[in-house]
Amino acid sequence: MYKKNRALGILLTVFFTVTVLVPFFSLITAIEPGSLAPLLQSEQFKKALLNSLSVTSFSTVIALSIAYVIAFTINRTKIRHREFLTMLFTLPMLIPSISHGIGFINLFGTNGLIANLNIFGFKGIVMGSIMYSFPTAFLMFNDAFKYIDNSLYENARVLGLNRWETFRKITFPYMRKSFFPSLFAVFTLIFTDYGVPLTIGGNYITLPVYLYKQVIGLLDFSKGTIIGLFLLIPATISFLMDAFRKDHEVNDNVVNPYVVQPNKVRDVICAAVSYSVIVLMVAILGSFVYLSFVHKFPSDMSLSLDHFGYLARNDLSKYFFNSLIISVATSVLGTAIAYASAVMVTRSNNNLRKLIHILSIVSMSIPGIVLGLSYIIAFRKTPVFNTYVIIVICNIVHFTSSPYLLAYNALNKVNKTYEDLGATYDINTAKITWKVLIPVTRGTILEMFSYIFVNSMMTISAVAFLYNSSTMPLSLLINRYENSLMMEETAIISLLILVVNLLVKSAVYLIKRKDARRKKEHELNL
């Protein structure tokens, strides 16, 4: 059993070394010393950096505020249909960020469906960034609200604390555990995104767009690498803060669930904010539906199926199946690798487990566009370059850190005596994993699979440098058609990605609900 654990540990270490450390060091060595000073002195670089910091800071504050209000509405008001609304607020996570920029152009651009406004530049980037980033913070806040025991609020009322004192002494200390991770997660998402700025930024160039143009347009890998290192800074700070944070564990044994007190003014205000966000989300998705069936936006708005025919004649099915192949392969292999890493770290005494833990989460601090750049530098002269293999591996590294942490947390809660019994009866770790750990954490595994699939289906930044005409995924067509002002085609592709991701998320939800019902029936029979 020890030998098998050691072999798996070595295999995982080699995998992460080749797919994470080698590309990163290749990125560093690609820097030409003579290119650093001219870049740092470049007015275009300074402007792009300042633009990124400005738009990211402004968008992050608003996104966090909206996320907190919505999470408060779901957990602290008498709003109805909480579960459905929670699912609805995660819809922006199911389409590429570039689609949000296009959606705002459809609604409020020069020929917008709702208004004709000049939204290009700072304003447009902020709107698009908020829309696609707030769900990340919302999920964190929503989860944190569930772990505050109502008895604390009852004690506060007995002691005569007012609302501000109650918030400061009870709510905020608990929410702080989610606030700072949410802050850095949203800041990093916006700071490293090039989808929204590329579509709606106009002449307002941000750092990721500057990097993209240097590498794709000018093939200047040295300059692109230096810009990529700047994009790593906020993510690295976030990673280090999370690694040294002492409040990872949240008490999930809530004795008294929160009891919502009647307050009509609070409920009306919070519901108004929440439903306003929903209306805007629906309007963006509705614009994609509408534009999919118009003849030519905005000159001829008569209904037509011509664009579906155009995409069919131009190999839409080929790119669609490319995405399915890449997403399924990434999900299966990524889930297996993340779960195996979590088992190794949490359920064994292997000497490599600390190293595997660090390597499993370090990619969380590498933005997709930087990861893609490192892969093109490290593997462009290898046989796997421009193949499905390189895209799948890049996606695995890009998206498995969060699923690994899901498995890590779930497996830490499973009783450790199973391994002791296994050692007593000479049952190896593989059998315990297959017979016990996997069934117990089945729901977590399903969430891991769906998370990786959804992100692989819609990613653009991580694979923007790694494809050819045969391996190009569907999401990259959005960029191509948007550059050609073919808004109808971009709308169809965005909707197709959304539908596929919704089907996968719905299937996982139904399976988990069926498992929960079966478990409840089993407990009642006992």
In a domain, 285, yes or no: yes
Q: Give CA separation, 138 vs 20, 33, 251, 395, 453, in Å.
A: 30, 43, 20, 24, 21
Q: How many structural domains is the chain composed of? A: 1
Report pLDDT for 20: 92
429 is in which domain, residue-wise?
2-250+267-525
Mean pLDDT check: name the lowest of 209-218, 225-234, 276-285, 471-480: 209-218
State the residue for tokens 């005596």: 417
Q: Identify the CA nearest to 348 among candidates 422, 410, 401.
A: 422
Instruction: Please tell me the predicted confidence (pLDDT) of residue 288.
Output: 92
Check pLDDT > 60 for residue 251. Answer: no
Res 145 pLDDT > 90: no
Cis peptide before 473 (omega within 30 of 0): no
Closest CA to 373 of 468, 463, 275: 463
Phi-psi region of 320 (alpha: psi -120 to 50; beta: other; left: phi over 0): alpha
Summarize the confidence of residues 504-513 as an average pLDDT. 92
Sign of the CA dihedral with 402 first, then 405, 410, and 411 last: positive
192: nearest Cα among 174, 177, 211: 211
pLDDT recorded at residue 263: 86
- Name the token pair of 151: 């008895």
pLDDT for the residue 427? 64
Query: In the beta sheet, which residues pair with residue 180?
Result: none
pLDDT at 250: 47
- Averaged pLDDT score across all residues of the chain: 86
pLDDT at 272 over 90: yes
What are 395-416's pLDDT values in tens digits? 999 999 889 988 988 888 777 7
| Residue of 55, 65, 70 lying closest to 276 (CA atoms) | 70
Domain-embedded: residue 261 = no
In the numeric block, the tokens 């709003």 are attached to 79
Q: What percent of the chain has pLDDT over 70?
A: 92
Confirm whether 313 is domain-assigned: yes
Tokens describing residue 388: 């499905």
Residues 6+ positions from 41 with CB-CB distance below 8 Å:
none
Residues 6+ apart with CB under 8 A from 311: 489, 492, 493
The residue with greater pLDDT, 343 or 3, is 343
Residue 422: per-residue pLDDT: 60
* Helix segments in 348-416, DSSP class H: 353-362, 368-379, 388-399, 401-412
Q: What percent of the chain has pLDDT over 90?
A: 43
Which sign does the torsion angle of CA 311, 315, 318, 323 carry?
negative
253: confidence class by pLDDT, cuts 50, 70, 90: low
Q: Which of 12-21, 480-489, 516-525 has the least mean pLDDT?
A: 516-525
- What are the tokens at 466? 């790694």
CATH number where 412 lies: 1.10.3720.10
Let me know if residue 154 belongs to a domain: yes
Per the domain annotation, does 438 fall within a domain?
A: yes
Tell me, what's the pLDDT at 3? 54
40-80 pLDDT, tens digit per residue, is 888 999 999 999 999 999 999 999 999 999 999 998 899 98
Lowest mean pLDDT among 58-72, 175-189, 278-292: 175-189
End-to-end C-alpha distance for the chain, whole angstroms? 35
Domain assignment present for residue 258? The answer is no
Query: Which residue, among 230, 215, 454, 219, has the nearest Cα to 331 in the 3D structure?
Result: 454
Name the band, by pLDDT with cuts 50, 70 and 90, for residue 1: very low
Q: Is residue 259 part of a domain?
A: no
CA 521 to chain centre: 35
41 lies in some domain: yes
| Chain position carrying tokens 């304003």 | 123
pLDDT at 346: 86
Residue 398: the pLDDT is 93
Q: Alpha-carbon distance 314 to 484, whole Å?
A: 15
User: Please, what is the angle between helix 487-525 and helix 316-347, to 10°?
Assistant: 40
Q: Tens digits of per-residue pLDDT, 420-439?
A: 666 566 666 777 777 788 88
Which H/E stretch holds residue 295? strand 294-296
